Amino acid sequence: MRATINSLRMAIVALVVYWVFLFIGTHLPADRIFIPLHLSDKVLHVIAFAGLSFLIAWAVPTNDAKLYRNTFVAALIAVVYAALDELLQIPVGRTADWLDFAADCVGVSIGLGSYTFVRALILRAEWEFFRSPNDVRSRRSSPK
């Protein structure tokens, strides 16, 4: 699967917008945060960093040969940011918490696992889409 310049631009724009909102949300004073659902703080960290790591992995151009290396780079970026994010909350009156950082890392794992799964599904669908109808028929009728 080749990344087109338009899909790469879309990934970068989505990443930047998400990251800005994530930064703002994690640096507002705790009494100003409005969350309509009653979710645990740790669940919010997992969800937020799953989304961030998914978008980072999507924004890093990847071919099959470099998938694991680029996924590792995306994980490294997300984990380093998670640590910085916790530390940068201290000046705005929030606390840096190891459990929040651990939840962030769980979110990074979920996000990157989701990215590799979705990427594999897209590659498989694309491969099936570009096969000729004769190939599909012969594969169905051939004994296994």
> Does the residue 9 lie in any domain?
yes
How many domains in the chain?
Answer: 1
pLDDT of res. 1 = 46
Q: How many CA atoms lie within 13 A of 59 on its CB side?
A: 22
Question: What pLDDT, on a 0 to 100 scale, did the predictor assign at position 52?
Answer: 97
Q: Could you read off the pLDDT of 81-101 as tens digits, one per residue?
A: 999 999 998 888 788 889 999
For the chain, residues with pLDDT lower than 70 are 1-4, 30-37, 127-144
Residue 136 domain-assigned (yes or no) = no
Domain annotation covers residue 57:
yes
Q: Is residue 140 part of a domain?
A: no
- What was the pLDDT predicted at 40? 82
Residue 144 lies in a domain: no
Model pLDDT, residue 130? 57
Residue 27, token pair as written in the block: 């640096």
Host domain of residue 29: 5-131
In a domain, 138, yes or no: no
Residue 28 lies in a domain: yes
Question: CA 60, 61, 65, 67 torsion: positive or negative?
Answer: positive
Q: What is the pTM of this model?
A: 0.79
Q: Is residue 143 part of a domain?
A: no
Give the per-residue pLDDT at 57.
93
